[in-house]
Amino acid sequence: MAKYGLIGGKLGHSLSPAIHKLFFQYTGKEGTYGLLERDVEALPELMQKLRSEYKGCNVTIPHKLHVMPLLDKIAPEAAAIGAVNTIKFTEQGAFGYNTDYFGFGRMLAYNSITVKGKVAAVLGTGGAARAVVKYLADQGVAKLYLVTRDIAKVDTRFAEMAPMAEVIDYTALGKLQGDVLVNCTPVGMFPKVDASPVPASVSAEFDASVDLIYNPAKTLFLQQAEAAGHKAVNGLFMLVAQAVAAQEIWQDESYASDLIVRIMTALEQEQ
Ligand code: NAP
């Protein structure tokens, strides 16, 4: 049976095994998906083993950068983002991809949020923000505000990925209006659910708010958007969509959004 897995540091609470199990169940594909908790020093040896025994794997914190030098080829979006979260093993070698990029895009499309020619603001400048910013830039967003607590510390790669991006602080964000506001910070995540990265007055100035957080399903950030009568989307669709995008790479097949929704629904019922 084909073997797949997730490489990461601490994986105790990962939803990935459940998502991939549902994928196998609903598509009839055969496979196992296990957790591969490793320190960075153990990665070269692990990769040798995976190359001979595995068909594919996902990669999460803190190894999305560490695996890159161990691969034979990296897809353009993953190279630009500077992070790999999916690896496909073939006889030709180990190939790296970033499916957070595709998962985010599919989430916007599914929720009819268009960004071409629009004004977007992205909160936070970590790994998730890099995939989001690259996607927004590739889709032709007109203006992109990258919002940080400390402008001096922002990675210079953002400017390369998104020449239209302007790095601002939260005070400057308070004076802006726009179309899409994306939370790429962990603020509001369980158990600290009483926090939002921005006040309600900011949420009111954007037509749609997207939170990458999926626990809780409705963060305070999203409650603020809904209270202002605006669209609010949580990160569960993205989480499942990035897993399905990985399966599309491994299986070399395409899957409809119905499958993502079916997996999401099953996960919500399990929780
Ligand atoms: P991260 O690197 O730990 O943090 C992201 C950024 O958030 C930081 O670089 C920081 O930017 C800002 N930040 C951190 N703590 C903050 C605080 N207390 N107040 C304000 N800003 C703060 O995390 P990540 O890996 O990018 O992930 C971000 C979030 O997205 C997490 O909640 C993660 O679970 C979620 N995520 C979801 C999906 C999905 O599929 N739905 C995928 C990836 C990530 P500045 O220092 O510039 O302010």
What count of other Cβ atoms lies within 10 Å of the Cβ of residue 253?
10
CA 99–ligand 1 middle distance (angstroms): 17
CA 263–ligand 1 middle distance (angstroms): 24
Task: Choose which residue among 14, 169, 185 to substitute to test ligand 1 binding: the one with the highest number of ligand atoms within 8 A of its C-beta.
Answer: 185
Alpha carbon distance 197, 212 (integer Å) = 12
Q: Which atom of ligand 1 is nearest to the CA of 130?
A: 26
What is the β-pairing status of strands 3-8 and 56-59?
parallel
> Residues, the chain, total?
271
Phi, psi of 50 (to 5 degrees): -65, -40
> What's the token pair of residue 19?
């998502």
Query: Residues enclosing ligand 1, CB less than 6 A?
Result: 100, 103, 124-129, 148-150, 184-187, 189, 197, 212-214, 235, 238-239, 242
What count of other Cβ atoms lies within 10 Å of the Cβ of residue 30?
8
175 given a catalytic annotation: no
The per-residue b/e assignment along 105-142, b for 16 or more CB within 10 angstroms, e otherwise, is: bbbbeeeebebeebbbbbbbbebbbbbbbbbbbbbebe
Alpha carbon distance 246, 152 (integer Å) = 35
Of the candidates 21, 49, 64, 143, the residue annotated as catalytic is: 64
Question: Where do the structural domains in the chain lie, given as residue ranges?
Answer: 3-97+237-270, 102-234
Q: Which atom of ligand 1 is nearest to the CA of 214?
A: 41
Alpha carbon distance 243, 255 (integer Å) = 11
Half-sphere exposure of 123 (CA within 13 A, CB side): 27
Of all protein residues, whose CA lies closest to atom 9 belonging to ligand 1?
Answer: 126
Of all protein residues, whose CA lies closest to atom 41 belonging to ligand 1?
Answer: 235
CATH class name, domain 3-97+237-270:
alpha beta
Say if residues 146 and 165 touch (Cβ distance below 8 Å): yes
Alpha carbon distance 38, 58 (integer Å) = 13
Alpha carbon distance 100, 243 (integer Å) = 9
CA 124–ligand 1 middle distance (angstroms): 6
Q: Which atom of ligand 1 is nearest to the CA of 189?
A: 32
Q: What pLDDT is recorded for position 37?
A: 97
What is the β-pairing status of strands 93-97 and 231-233?
unpaired
Q: DSSP H helical segments within 139-253, as ranges?
A: 157-161, 170-173, 200-203, 220-227, 236-251
CA 185–ligand 1 middle distance (angstroms): 3
Return averaged pLDDT per consecutive 10 residues of the chain, 271 residues in all: 96 94 97 97 97 97 95 97 96 97 97 98 95 97 98 93 95 98 97 97 98 96 98 97 98 97 94 71
- The topology (CATH level 3) of 102-234 is Rossmann fold (3.40.50)
Q: Which atom of ligand 1 is nearest to the CA of 149?
A: 48
**68 three-state secondary structure:** helix
- Identical topology for domains 3-97+237-270 and 102-234: yes
